Amino acid sequence: MNNPAPRTDWRAPAMARRVKRRYAAERRFRLLGLLAVVASAGFLAFLLANMVMNGAQGFVQTRLVIPVDFARAALPLDGARLRGPGAELALAGAGLPELATSAATEAYGERGAAMIADSGWTVLRDALKRDPGLLSRRALIAIPAAAALDQAAKGRGAPADRALIDQLRAQGRVETGVSLPFLFGSDSTDPVQAGIWGALKGSLFTMAVTLLLAFPVGVLAALYLEEYAPRNALTDFIEVSINNLAAVPSIIFGLLGLAVFLNLFDLPRSASIVGGMTLALMTMPVIVIAGRNAIRGVPPSIRDAALGVGASPIQVVFHHVLPLALPGILTGTIIGMARALGETAPLLMIGMRAFIATPPDKLTDPATVLPVQIFLWSDEIDRAFIEKTSAAIIVLLVFLLAMNSVAVYLRNKFETRW
């Protein structure tokens, strides 16, 4: 007969020391977890603060107030033509760059021409388009300052430029406001004129194509593999291939897009539709894997109950299983789309790093995207592009948060608690 195990004396000094060590280990573990969370939040706060501090100035533009005598310039224009369909062509050949240069020289001397941006004449063009009556009078026009003076107005640059800006401020000749060219312009060699709208529009087009292709195909593939596909060697091979594709480096998908969409199908290079199709190939495996896991998580009793009341197999899938699995599928879609939005390498392979001076109007127009635009600006040597890069990163983060917020709202709306 086996002897019974001795009873544990929980009041013994040795047992008390063991319990004390266990509680101390638990407290240390909790403290380490708290420190990890605080460190992560601190790094995130530092990153965001650094981006905001460097990028906030990118949304601000410095302008010099210059008197422009349109009447004395005698431009070959008339008010009726400026209100007609040929206004842009007439303004392009009216000598406005020379007028802006001469007005700046008259106001500030020989250095005046270098004090305004090369694209400053476009302000005169826009002013005449808004008010053709300026042709017959003299007006004060706020023209964007050159990049060096713009940096000086923001506390950077050479001491001489900062002293000049302080002098002009004291005379009331400096204005500061929101940089409309940055918000509504496209890429430019002039940092004063460089804008983010072209890249933002290209990102919108590219993400729309990616979502329209990857989401339905990925969901249907997940439904077939989980609900209808037979369990055999071929199905196992497909599952392994999908799992491997989800881990393939993104540049491989760029090479695939280059070989198939550009070289084989001869689609337009550097177009949003090609970028969207390439990113859809990269995003689809993530959606398929997340979709299968979400479909597998629906209780079998849901299927049995639906079949028991007379629903057909396809009604069971689309009326019961898919709605209940949709929150999990949307979670995978959020992850895949967020990854696609930040990708640069595959888009570089299909030519979406081109200099795009005009925002795209169609999916087949040449375009670029926000990550590529940030990459291109970060490679510029002009210091004024540094704040443009940080400001573009802020725009990218806002775009990502907006896209994810919509997806999270839809996920929570369709979520069912058991």
Is 90 exceeded by the pLDDT of residue 214? Answer: yes
pLDDT band at 274 (very low <50, low <70, confident <90, very high): very high
Of 341, 331, 19, which Cα lies nearest the Cα of 200?
A: 341
Mean pLDDT of 156-174: 86
Of 148, 141, 150, 105, which Cα lies nearest the Cα of 122?
A: 141
Residue 281: per-residue pLDDT: 92
Residue 276: per-residue pLDDT: 93
Is 90 exceeded by the pLDDT of residue 34? Answer: yes
Cα–Cα dist 246/119, whole Å = 46
pLDDT band at 90 (very low <50, low <70, confident <90, very high): confident
Is 90 exceeded by the pLDDT of residue 135? Answer: no
Contact 201, 373 (CB under 8 A): no
Residue pLDDT, tens place only, 188-208: 888 888 889 999 999 999 999
Residue pLDDT, tens place only, 244-272: 988 888 889 999 999 999 988 888 888 99
Contact 178, 60 (CB under 8 A): yes
pLDDT band at 20 (very low <50, low <70, confident <90, very high): confident
Is 80 exceeded by the pLDDT of residue 176? Answer: yes
Cα–Cα dist 292/410, whole Å = 19
What is the share, in percent, of the chain residues with pLDDT greater than 90? 20
* Chain mean pLDDT for the chain: 86
pLDDT band at 286 (very low <50, low <70, confident <90, very high): very high
| Range among 37-41, 76-80, 178-182, 232-236 rated most confident | 37-41
Least confident of 4-13, 162-171, 250-259: 4-13
Between these two residues, 4 and 302, which has the higher pLDDT value?
302
Is 70 exceeded by the pLDDT of residue 406? Answer: yes
138 beta partners: 69
Is 80 exceeded by the pLDDT of residue 9? Answer: no
Residue pLDDT, tens place only, 76-87: 877 777 777 777
In whole angstroms, how large is the CA radius of gyration of the chain? 31
Of 129, 123, 91, 127, which Cα lies nearest the Cα of 104?
A: 123
Torsion of CA 88, 92, 97, 100, to 10 degrees: -30
Cα–Cα dist 123/406, whole Å = 37
Contact 304, 286 (CB under 8 A): no
Is 80 exceeded by the pLDDT of residue 8? Answer: no
Cα–Cα dist 194/219, whole Å = 40
Mean pLDDT of 93-113: 87
In sign, the C-alpha dihedral spanning 92, 98, 101, 104 is negative
- Per-residue DSSP letters for 383-394? THHHHHHHHHHH
Residue 112: per-residue pLDDT: 85
Residue 282: per-residue pLDDT: 92
Max CA pair span of the chain: 121
Q: State the first-to-last Cα distance of the chain, in angstroms, to the nearest integer.
A: 51
Residue 397, classified by CB atoms within 10 Å of its CB into exposed (0-12), middle (13-18) or buried (19+), is: middle
Angle, CA 100 vertex, CA 161 and CA 134 arms, to 5°: 130
Residue pLDDT, tens place only, 38-52: 999 999 899 888 888
Cα–Cα dist 173/168, whole Å = 5
Residue 378: per-residue pLDDT: 84
Mean pLDDT of 10-36: 87
Residue 418: per-residue pLDDT: 54
Contact 279, 369 (CB under 8 A): no
Residue 128: per-residue pLDDT: 85
Mean pLDDT of 276-295: 92
What is the share, in percent, of the chain residues with pLDDT greater than 70? 97
Cα–Cα dist 387/146, whole Å = 15
Cα-based distances in Å from 221 to 318, 348, 407: 14, 29, 21
Residue 321, classified by CB atoms within 10 Å of its CB into exposed (0-12), middle (13-18) or buried (19+), is: buried
- Strand order from edge to edge, sheet including 138-144: 138-144, 60-69, 174-178
